[in-house]
Amino acid sequence: MTILVDTELNKIAADAYNSTREYVLLTGKSPSKQELARSCKCSVVSIYKAEKLLKRKGYMTGVKGEARTLVPTDLERVILHEDPDPWAELDEDAPRFWRM
């Protein structure tokens, strides 16, 4: 697993990428916009903006006009929007909605 820190991304874009990556690894398909918004605790409009940014930067790819085709270009890459907290490993990971 490769960890990439991209300070040009906002928190929602980084969360959207990592949630999509996790969902694809678990199910083999991309989540819907509503599922992704619920997972990231934001609006669907924010997800559209985040996906547009991620596609422009080359982190995600998908078929235009088709539902659930947006996938990360590298499933081994994890993207952070800021430098990682060295103490974060001690905290429990907050469950995503598809892990409940």
In this structure, what are the phi and psi dihedrals at residue 60, rounded to the nearest 5 degrees? -135, 155
pLDDT in tens, 56-83: 999 999 988 888 999 999 999 999 998 8
Angle between helix axes 11-27 and 33-40 (nearest 10 degrees) is 120
Distance CA 55, CA 48 (A): 11
Global pTM value: 0.83
Q: What average pLDDT does the segment 34-57 reach?
A: 95
Q: Evaluate if residue 11 carries a pLDDT over 70.
A: yes
The helix/strand/coil state of 80 is: strand
- At residue 93, the 3 state secondary structure works out as coil
- What pLDDT was estimated at residue 93? 61
Give the pLDDT of residue 23: 95
Q: Does domain 2-90 have CATH number 1.10.760.10?
A: no
